[in-house]
Structures are given as C-alpha cells and as structure tokens.
C-alpha cells in the first residue's frame, strides 16, 4: 500500500468556495457497499435511505476563532493557529514567523502576551499565555478556514454545525454542516434517533500524507468523549438491530476508539480522553455500520479512512464519477452516504 494509491486528479473548480443555502440543499451521493451502481439525491432526502431505529451519531464540537495575529517586539508579524489547549495558559499551536524559538515572546493586540516554551516538530510550538486566552478569542481571533477556501465567509456560523455547543476545534466536522433543524426534526419523526459525541478536530486530520508508506505517517492525538448515556444508546441500537451511522469521520474515529474497550456483546464503551486512532485499509470496523461524509483531499488520512470502509477502488471510482457530475468537494462541498 502506497500513499500514491489514494491520489486522484481534482480540477480546482470542483473545490467548493461557499456553502450551499439552505444547508440541506447540498447534493448527496449514495454508495452501497457491494453494489456497483451509485445513487444521486439531495441531502434533504436523507431519510429515504434510513430506517426507524437507525442512530445518527453527531459530533457536538464547536470551532473556536483560533487564528490569532500577533507582533514581535521588533514589530514583525506572527500568526498563531491554536490547535489544542493543554491547560488554562498553555496551548499547542502552529506559529508562522521567523525565529520563533524557546523564550521568544509576541504581543496580541487586545489580548495577552504569548511566549514560546517548547519547539515541537515543524512549525508547531508549545506556547504559554500571560493570562487565559480562550475567553478573548471571539474578540482577537479569526475563524480558521481551510487554506483551499479563498472566498470570504460573511456568516461565520456557516462554518459551524447547527448543533455545535462544545468549543475546542481548529476545524469543523464538515459532514455535519448539511443538517438543519428542519431536517433533524423530520428524521426524528421518521423514527431515526440522534446520539451525541465530541471530538475536537485538529488540523492534522486534513493534512496530506507526505510519506510514501502511509503506515509511517504520524497522526496526532485529538481529545474525544463518548459518555455513558451515549454508549448505552449505541449499544441498545445495535442489540435492537438498528444501524449506527457516523456523521463524519470525526464521529467514526470517536466510535471506533470507544469500541476498543467494549465489553463482549457491546459496540462501544464510554470514553473520555485523547485518541490517535489511524484507520487504514485492512482495519476491521467494530462500531460503525454506515457513514455520512464529505469528499476528501487526495492522499489524506480521511480518504484512507473511507477507503478502509468501502474499498479503495470503489471510493476512487465514486470520486471520479462525482467529479464528472460536478459535485462540490471538501469542507463546503456535497455529501456522500456510504451504506
């Protein structure tokens, strides 16, 4: 298995620059494993593919305005992209600026001072703020949109799911962006249930794999939680014959992390803490029966994850067909339902 096995040619115009309005009007490509024909629908018609007793597992994480502009004592510009809070004052961050070594400090207009206390790999740094920064982020920070989105997002809430209420992510769990309260109510009336988990998304999730052998790629940890109530709901669904449908790869990783310590006969066990689960083809899924996902970057860990679920050749063929039919790709793009 090589990283190049997960590459595909994507015309730049297929990368969605703006979200569809309303959210549930995005297109939906339906792939049934073992069935060669693809189906094409819209997200608002998702319920046509679900059954009473199915359980949609959504990620409640909320993107924080984690991109912060700062200045060196010399006046030089520095950009901090906060990835993960370690305690009230300490964060792991990507730091853009020359010479940002241990002991270097920067000033944030309207915010606290920050000092580099450890150099990590690449442009990663561990930084310590002079006072807690989280409460100031709505004032001093910007939404960290992916680098392939070049169009200004007038309504910042469009990069949040409608149910996001747990701040902590550096990027949105984008499969959930298609849901509206109206659609969720229709699904509940149909007998489809929702369960909530949290995984705070780091940027590594979306980064292309640069090693020739994907097995050598180092995936960083992310914090996730699946509480006892949700675990009981998921296990009851499995016992009743309902399907556990992950909304997005973040929910997939949370569910499969929670499956690792499940008791015999259960799908998952409660979980709270870091996960570095890395799902490649050959992985045996224990908790996920189906998934909703967007179209992912070439050579990313996420296209490898969906390939593990549905087969590499099947996924790449579906992607090429989606390109031919002018589906929209990546964060603000269309959705895929894999059954």
With DSSP H G I counted as helix, E B as strand and the rest as coil, what are the percentages for the chain, rounded to 5? Answer: 30, 30, 45
- Please return the burial class of 29, using the count of CB atoms within 10 Å of its CB with bins 0-12, 13-18 and 19+: buried
> What local confidence, expressed as pLDDT, does residue 121 receive?
85
**Per-chain mean pLDDT for the chain:** 95
Among all chains, which residue has been given the structure tokens 């973040």?
Answer: 250
Per-residue pLDDT of 223-255, as tens digits, reads 999 999 999 999 999 999 999 999 999 999 999
pLDDT recorded at residue 138: 92
Q: pLDDT, tens digit, for every residue of 21-45?
A: 999 999 999 999 999 999 999 999 9
d(CA 61, CA 156): 15
pLDDT band at 206 (very low <50, low <70, confident <90, very high): low
The C-alpha atoms of residue 134 and residue 167 are separated, in whole angstroms, by 10
Write down the H helix ranges in the chain.
137-140, 181-189, 228-239, 249-259, 301-310, 312-324
Domains of the chain: 3-63+153-338 (3.40.1780.10), 67-142 (2.40.10.240)
Residue 23: both structure tokens together? 């959210």
Specify the pLDDT at position 205.
66
Q: Which pair of tokens denotes residue 99?
A: 């010479």
User: CA-CA distance, 297 to 317, in Å (whole number)?
Assistant: 15
Model confidence pLDDT, tens digit, residues 169-180: 999 999 999 999
Q: pLDDT tens for residues 56-111?
A: 999 999 999 999 999 999 999 999 999 889 999 999 999 998 999 999 999 999 99
Strand, coil or helix: 38: strand
pLDDT tens digits for range 114-129: 999 999 988 899 999 9
Task: State the virtual CA torsion across 195, 196, 202, 203 in degrees, nearest 10.
Answer: 50
pTM confidence score = 0.94
DSSP 271: E
- pLDDT number for residue 218: 85
Choose among 80, 336, 102: nearest CA to 203: 80
* Residue 113: strand, helix, or coil: strand
């Amino acid at each position: 298995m090589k990283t190049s096995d997960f590459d595909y040619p994507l015309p730049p115009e297929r990368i969605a620059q703006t979200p569809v309005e309303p959210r549930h009007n995005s297109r939906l490509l339906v792939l049934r494993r073992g069935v060669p024909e693809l189906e094409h629908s819209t997200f608002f018609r998702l319920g046509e593919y679900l059954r009473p007793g199915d359980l949609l597992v959504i990620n409640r994480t909320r993107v924080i305005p984690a991109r912060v502009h700062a200045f060196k004592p010399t006046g030089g510009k520095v950009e901090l992209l906060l990835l993960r809070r370690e305690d009230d004052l300490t964060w792991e961050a990507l730091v853009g600026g020359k010479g940002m070594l241990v002991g270097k400090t920067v000033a944030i207009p309207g915010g606290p001072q920050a000092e580099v206390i450890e150099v990590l790999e690449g442009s990663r740094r561990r930084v310590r703020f002079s006072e807690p920064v989280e409460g100031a982020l709505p004032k001093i920070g910007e939404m960290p949109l992916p680098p392939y989105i070049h169009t200004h997002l007038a309504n910042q809430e469009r990069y949040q799911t409608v149910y996001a209420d747990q701040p902590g992510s550096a990027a949105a769990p984008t499969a959930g962006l298609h849901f509206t309260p109206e659609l969720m109510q229709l699904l509940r009336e149909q007998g489809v249930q929702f369960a909530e988990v949290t995984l705070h998304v780091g940027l590594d999730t979306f980064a292309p794999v640069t090693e020739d052998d994907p097995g050598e790629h180092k995936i960083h940890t992310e914090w996730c939680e699946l509480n006892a109530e949700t675990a009981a709901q998921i296990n009851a669904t499995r016992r009743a014959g309902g399907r556990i449908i992950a909304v997005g790869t973040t929910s997939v990783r949370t569910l499969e992390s929670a499956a690792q310590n499940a008791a015999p006969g259960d799908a998952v066990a409660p979980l709270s803490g870091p996960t570095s689960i890395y799902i490649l083809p050959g992985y045996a899924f224990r908790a996920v029966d189906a998934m909703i996902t967007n179209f992912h970057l070439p050579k990313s860990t996420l296209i490898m994850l969906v390939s593990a679920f549905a087969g590499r050749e099947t996924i790449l063929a579906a992607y090429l067909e989606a390109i031919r039919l002018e589906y929209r790709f990546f964060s603000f793009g269309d959705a895929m339902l894999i059954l």
